[in-house]
Structure 1
Amino acid sequence: MAELVYPPVIGAARTVFKAIDLKFDIAGTDNIPRRGGAVLVSNHIGYLDFVFCGLAARPAKRLVRFMAKDSVFRHKVSGPLMRAMKHIPVDRSQGVHAYKNALSALRSGEIIGVFPEATISESFTLKNFKSGAARLAQEAGVPLLPMALWGTQRLWTKGHKRDLGRRHYPVTIRVGEPMEADPAESAEKVTDRLRARVQELLEAAQRAYPVRPRGPEDTWWVPAHLGGTAPAAPGTAG
C-alpha cells in the first residue's frame, strides 16, 4: 500500500529543520537494514526524538513505526497523522494489544521504534529500560538496533519551553550495529546488554557534540555528572 502521509511529513520536518538551521552529525546509518523487521531502540531526552530517529533511518530508505502513548493518537491534530503513518498506540492499561500489533508489524518486515525508558529522562541520562523491546525482538526473530540522540533536548523537552528559533543547534545521532536477541537468553539479560550499548553510543554522541554551555545560564541541558545543572538521576548524588 502506498505511503501517502509519512513521506510528506518527513519532507515537512526536513524543511523546518533546514529553516531553523539545525546542524546534524549522524553516524552509523549503514547499520540499519534495508529490508526486514527490526526493533529500533533509543534514549529519550526530548519530545521530537521520534522524528530524529526516523530521519536516521531514511538513508536506508526505511520508515519507522513508533510505539507511542495512546493520548497522542487521541489528539485532534496528531492523532490522524499518527494513524496514517501506521504508528502504534500504547494504552498502558491494555499493553497486550499494542504488543501484538508491534509483533505483527515486525513479522511483516517493519522497523518498530521503541523508547524503552517509557518517558523522557529529565536528567538526560539513561533511566532503567523496560524489557518489552527485547521480548519483541526475541519473539519476532529480528535484531535490535541501538541508537543514541544528543542535543534534541535543547529544542523541546519536559520542563522547558520549546525553542525552534534559528539558533543553529547541533543534533548528534549515533546508530550502533544490530544486536541479536537470542530467545535462549532471558529478556532481562538482553535488555541489560542493550542498555549498555545505548549507553556507549550516548557517551560517544556526547563526546562528539561540538558545543559546550555558553555560560552559567546555559547549563540546564547538560547532565549533572558532566558538570551541568540538569536534575540528577534518581539514586545518584547531587
Structure 2
Amino acid sequence: GPVLRATRQIPVQRNTGGAAASLDAAERALAQGECVVIFPEGTISPDLDPMPGRTGAARLAQATGVKVTPVGLWGAQRILFKGRKPSWTRGVAESVVVGKPVRVGPEDDAGAATERIMAGIAAAVARARDVYTQHPQAGDDGWWVRTPESAFRHVGHATGTTS
C-alpha cells in the first residue's frame, strides 16, 4: 500500500520469476547508496527462533561487494505477529542487536555464505532476547517462551546433535 511505497519497500514474490526482479531492484538501490534491509528467512518464524535462510541476501552481497550486517530483533512479536491480532499497546520494548558484518566474496558458495549470515542473525537474536528489558507478567500469553519443538531444536543446535 501507500506506506510501503512511501518507504520504498521492494516487494518480493517468493518462488516466482518476480523474486529475481526484487534482487535486481535491491542491487540498483545499493548501487545508488541506499540501505537495503532483507529478512533472509522470507517469513516469520512461528516459534521466534531464526529459520534457515534463503540465499538472496548472500547472492546480493556477492553481486555488489556489500557486506551483510546481521541484526537481531526481540520484542516486536508482542505487537505484531503472524496469526495474531495486532496489539498497539504503548510501552512495549524492542531490543535491537547489530552483529559483525559478514563478507561474501565472489568465490563463496551462496549456501555456505547464507549459513554464515544466519549464524550471525541467530547470535544477534539470542543477544537481543538476553538483554530484553521487559519480563513476563502473570497472565501474559507466552510471547517469551519457546515451543517444545523449538526448545528441542535450540538445544540440539547448541550441542551439535540436530540433523
- TM bracket (short chain): 0.7 to 0.9
Describe the superposition over 1:30-79 as per-residue Cα deviations: whole angstroms up to 9, x where unpaired.
xxxxxxxxxxxxxxxxxxxxxxxxxxxxxxxxxxxxxxxxxxxxxxxxx2
Corresponding residue of 1:71: none
Corresponding residue of 1:17: none
Is 1:135 aligned to 2:52, yes or no?
no
Unpaired runs of at least 5, structure 1: 1-78, 225-229
From 97, 117, 120, the equivalent of 1:197 is 120
SS at match of 1:200: helix
Describe the superposition over 1:180-211 as per-residue Cα deviations: whole angstroms up to 9, x where unpaired.
11111111111111111111111111111123
Aligned equivalents of 1:140, 1:195: Cα separation in 2 = 19
Unpaired runs of at least 5, structure 2: 155-163
From 5, 12, 26, the equivalent of 1:90 is 12
Describe the superposition over 1:145-192 as per-residue Cα deviations: whole angstroms up to 9, x where unpaired.
1100001101111122211123x2211101122221111111111111
Corresponding residue of 1:121: 45
CA apart distance, 1:236: 4.1
CA apart distance, 1:84: 3.1
Aligned equivalents of 1:163, 1:80: Cα separation in 2 = 22
Structure 2 counterparts to residues 58-73 of structure 1, below 5 A: none
Which stretch of structure 1 is more off in the superposition, 144-153 or 180-189? 180-189
Aligned equivalents of 2:97, 2:153: Cα separation in 1 = 26
Normalized against structure 1, the TM-score is what? Answer: 0.59
Cα distance 1:100–1:161, how it changes in 2: closer, same or farther (>3 A)?
A: same
RMSD, aligned α-carbons: 2.1
CA apart distance, 1:83: 2.2
From 126, 143, 151, the equivalent of 1:221 is 143
CA apart distance, 1:219: 4.7
Aligned equivalents of 2:136, 2:149: Cα separation in 1 = 17
From 105, 114, 124, the equivalent of 2:29 is 105
Structure with a larger share of its residues in strand:
1
Structure 2 contact 44–82 (Cα < 8 Å) conserved: yes
Higher relative contact order (CA 8 A, sep 6+): 1
SS at match of 1:148: strand
Corresponding residue of 1:178: 101
Cα distance 1:117–1:235, how it changes in 2: closer, same or farther (>3 A)?
A: farther
Aligned equivalents of 1:153, 1:194: Cα separation in 2 = 22
Q: Which amino acid aligns with 1:86?
A: R
Aligned equivalents of 1:81, 1:212: Cα separation in 2 = 32
Q: Give me the identity figure in percent.
A: 34
SS at match of 1:136: helix
Normalized against structure 2, the TM-score is what? Answer: 0.84
Aligned equivalents of 1:211, 1:81: Cα separation in 2 = 29
Corresponding residue of 2:149: 232
